[in-house]
Structure 1
Amino acid sequence: MDISKKLILDACIKKQNDLIDNFKSQLDSMNSDVFEFDHSPSQTESRAAGKIELLNAVGKELDFAIREMDLLKMLNPEKVSSIVEPGALVVTDRMKLFISVSIEEIGVGGEIIFGISTKAPIYEKMRGLEKGASFKFNDTEYNIEAIH
């Protein structure tokens, strides 16, 4: 596998930035919409309350995405990992996993890599394991072929 962790991390940061920008755009659009009333009191109050609730929910998602970005920026792509830990690229017989944040699927250099959080249940099954170890998750056996 010739893909550097720096390229993977850069792809994760780009995807996370896109997510943050999307949430910010949603908030901007919703903010202007929430404060435009048609002045029919009972309907407006009810709609405004629902919109404010949605605005708060999207705001929380944005805050979470920003915290995840902070975690990504703390990772050192130059660090060589010998165990499954944050920042490690784990190659199994079934998939490639970048231990970082829940970025889901990214394509880098023609390879599909899944960014997973240290809070993910699959991470709990493999945390601290070394090359050659195996683990079971959701009735599927995974063999660790390499860790970078």
Structure 2
Amino acid sequence: MKIKQQLLELCTQCADKRVLGYKNEIELIKESIENNDKVSNEEDDSGNSKLLDDLEKNMNYLNDANKMREQLKLMRPNLVSDSVVLGSLVKTDSITFFIALSMGKVIVEGSEYYIISLASPLGQLLRNRKKDDEFQFNEKRYIIQEVL
């Protein structure tokens, strides 16, 4: 299960990067709000209103990213299930998926993997499927050859 560990590590790095990015953005917005408050003599608060909206959005994104990071911490790469669950490596006749978070295509040790979220449309199609199950996505048919 070395490959699952490597994919999980990539996901964790991505989640950490997202969290850091949102934290930095929040700090910049807070600084902008403070600077606007110091220099604003006008009654027009539309600038701060936009900044407050951006702050709220980024706080929500940060909250989601933290939840994603916590979910990744709960994943056990050694866990093997007969059906597709969070943390599964799903080998089909043409593509290999890792069920974790929405990250897209990555290449690890020369092999291509698609890291997808269980909540994504494709993740929902894969949920609880087993070896030899077939499914169709974007007019392409896939056969699950292995669930690790």
Task: With the length of structure 1 as denominator, give the TM-score of the two structures.
Answer: 0.89
**Is the CA contact (8 Å cut-off) linking 1:16 and 1:103 kept in structure 2?**
no
Matching residue's letter, 2:100: S
1:138 positional shift: 2.3
- Indicate the residue corresponding to 1:27 in structure 2: 26
Residue equivalent to 1:41: 42
Structure 1 counterpart SS, 2:32: helix
TM-score for both structures, normalised by structure 2: 0.89
SS at match of 1:128: coil
Secondary structure in structure 2 of the residue aligned to 1:54: helix
- CA distance 1:106–1:23, change in 2 (3 Å): farther
Alpha-carbon distance between aligned partners in 1 of 2:138 and 2:10, rounded to the nearest angstrom: 28
Report SS of the residue matched to 1:77: coil
The alignment of Structure 1 onto Structure 2 pairs a total of residues equal to 146
Structure 2 equivalent of residue 50 of structure 1: 50
For 1:145 and 1:117, locate their aligned partners in 2 and report how far apart those are by CA, in whole Å. 20
User: For the aligned residues, what is the CA RMSD?
Assistant: 1.7
- The one-letter code matched in structure 1 to 2:83 is I
Contact kept? 1:98, 1:114, Cα under 8 Å? yes
- C-alpha displacement of 1:122: 1.4
CA positional deviation for 1:61: 0.4
How many percent identity over aligned positions? Answer: 23
